[in-house]
Chains A and B, each alone.
Chain A
Amino acid sequence: MKRANRPAALPVVTPVLALLLATPAFGIDFQFEGYGDIRLVMAPKTDSLLDGGLGKLRFGEDDGGIEPGDIVGEGRAIILPELTATATVRANPDYGPAVDLLEAFVRYRPVSTNAWRWSVKLGAFFPPLSLENDQVGWTSFWTITPSAINSWVGDELRILGAEGTLEYRREDQTITLVGAVFGWNDPAGVVMADRGWDFNDRPQGLFEHNRLPDISGFGAPPPVYGKLFTEMDGRPGWYLDLSWEPEDLGGFEIMRYDNDADPRRIKDGQIAWATSFWDVGYQKQLGKMTVLAQGMTGSTTIVPSDFYRQTTDFRSAYALVGYDLDKWWMAARFDVFDTRTRATFPSDANEDGHAITLSMSWLPEKWLRFTGEMIAIDDRRDSRAETGEDPHRNETQFQLLARIYF
């Protein structure tokens, strides 16, 4: 994997931004919200995933103490009541581009006065599979750091394309079918194969160079970068997501995702990763208690030559129990994860692990949130032996976050 050049302008994002900038302000409502945060961090003495290591956490041996977090702003233009344009911008001087986009899309949703409602979305956005990340800037209400599943979604997946939604609404239940066709995500899978699962609340920016593990360079001097949001084979990917929310039983969700990349395609020194997965989710509120559970199983494949084929199977699941006391809330989550790589030549990219996350938040004012969080991970990743490290690790990260909403 070679160090990437600066990514070209994203074909789907550009017209969305152009629309945002070119639309006359008269008669359009603009809304803006976001947050900025700062953290007190106690990091493990291992290498952070953001520094090219095989650690599982955002912070590592080079971090600790006061860490400036992110400033995230989400702007929306209500062009018509049925037509809105949304862009989410992140500023973080510490890592990656100082300013980057997380999402930028337009949504058209005609009002409906019967049980059926449809809408379409065009641009760059997250797939709708996270049960945790439903707050401004794709953050979680319950914890600072999302589960392994949703960390990976933030790490590698972004939908650059069109999504359609059809809802059937009744007083006692709602059924929603979401389908999308997208491009520019053919390298998705490389992080899962080379680094495995992680726990990271910093989703990949759309214009950001993706820092891959140093061992992905096959001896090239670090850092090693890739371009995640690029089209390589001209074949669109797709997903279908079906959710059912009966009033008494909670919410059920199932998704099939396939980026339909051509695993033989090599372009600009990058390989296309054919990645597909099933995701299932369940959520239920019982009084002040909320239960979230998700499971994912999938695979990613490359065939860089007639003589080599590699497939990494990946699985993870979590259960989160949250307790909400209005100004205070707490959450406990248990994650399990593994990967298995089958290749023409023997591979050492397998991993097994589990993690416990405990979190407590306090909202003294509507604009101010404090969250304390601990993540303890116990895992084994065989490829750590390549750099002389012990494949087995225990990593623990503490964070105390102060986040101001605006």
Chain B
Amino acid sequence: MFHRLLSLFAVASAIACSTASGGTVDVVVTDANGKPAANAVVALANDTAQPASHVPPRSVIDQQHETFLPLVVLVRKGGEVVFTNNDTTMHQVYSFSAIKQFQFEIDKGQVSKPVIFDKAGVAAIGCNIHDNMVAYVFVADAPYAAITDAKGTAELRDVPDGAWHASVWHPQSRIGKQPAPTALAVAGDTRLALKIQISAAPAMSRMHKDY
């Protein structure tokens, strides 16, 4: 009997906690034509929340078939990215982005040392051998951030009720053309629709010779 009471108390507490902490923000990101925008990063911030508290501290970028996978990864400010090479050839990974400059060689089957990203922003990653390889590391200092899937959707969990502003970035959004942050009032589970203007992916990339 005591155990049952304890269980009920635990469930009630969990419900109470979840209500007090807000809910899940379901985001849909579309492009200017209303089509789902995959690989967009949606971030929620306000003036009081802890920086990057719900953003992964570590992400992995793999290399297969002369492609970085996935195209976009997300880490919190101060977080790290590890590169794995499951390709049949070596790569020379580099970045000359403003927030992080690095380069290293990675042979077949190897795992890189963690690369620490201690500044917020976006780092474009390339391979010095294969010009068509590209990936993006989004380094967030917002407390909540997520990447959209193929349907353009993302889920930000445990967002406290209150006033937030939502920002969105996409690898094909042009420099300086990202939309201004959108005000968002979170009250329990909340839906959010965002639009972003993105340029077309480069044509011919399917068969492009890269050297």
- Contact (Cβ within 8 A) A78 B90: yes
Q: Tell me the complex Cα distance, A169–B126, Å.
A: 13
Judge whether A287 is part of the interface by a CB distance below 8 angstroms. yes
28 intermolecular pairs with C-beta atoms under 8 Å apart: A29-B88, A29-B108, A74-B209, A78-B90, A78-B129, A81-B91, A82-B92, A82-B128, A84-B129, A107-B211, A111-B103, A113-B96, A113-B101, A113-B103, A114-B96, A136-B209, A141-B203, A141-B204, A141-B207, A141-B208, A172-B176, A248-B174, A285-B203, A286-B200, A288-B200, A290-B203, A326-B206, A363-B207
In the complex, which of the residues A74, A86, A112, A324 contacts B94, with contact meaning CB atoms closer than 8 Å? Answer: A112
| Inter-chain contact A363/B89, CB cutoff 8 Å | no
B157-208 at interface with A (beta carbon < 8 Å): 174-176, 199-200, 202-204, 206-208
State which residues 74-126 of B face A: CB under 8 Å.
88-92, 94-98, 101-103, 105, 108, 124
Residue A247, interface by CB 8 Å: yes
Q: Which residues of A contact B204 (CB under 8 A)?
A: 134-135, 141, 290, 324
Contact B101 A288, beta carbon cutoff 8 Å: no
Query: Chain B residues near A136 (CB, 8 Å)?
Result: 207, 209
- Asked if B209 contacts A84 (CB within 8 A), the reply is no
The answer to whether A285 and B202 touch across the interface, beta carbons within 8 angstroms, is: yes
Min CB distance, A121 to chain B, in Å? 10
Residue of A nearest to B103 (CB): A111
Which B residues fall within an 8 A CB radius of A?
88-92, 94-98, 101-103, 105, 108, 124, 128-129, 174-176, 199-200, 202-204, 206-209, 211
Q: With contacts defined as CB atoms under 8 Å apart, how many contacts are there between chain A and chain B in the complex? A: 82
CB-nearest residue of chain A relative to B203? A324
Q: Are B94 and A76 within 8 A (Cβ)? A: no
Task: Say yes or no: A363 contacts B206, CB within 8 Å.
Answer: yes
Whole-angstrom distance from the CB of A115 to the nearest CB of chain B? 6
A266 to B105, CA, bound (A): 51
- Closest-CB distance, B174 to chain A (whole angstroms): 6
Question: By the criterion CB–CB under 8 Å, are B203 and A171 in contact?
Answer: no
CB of A29 within 8 A of CB of B101, answer no
Residues of A within 8 A of B108 (CB): 29
**Cβ B96 vs Cβ A135 within 8 A:** no
Q: Which residues of A contact B102 (CB under 8 A)?
A: 113
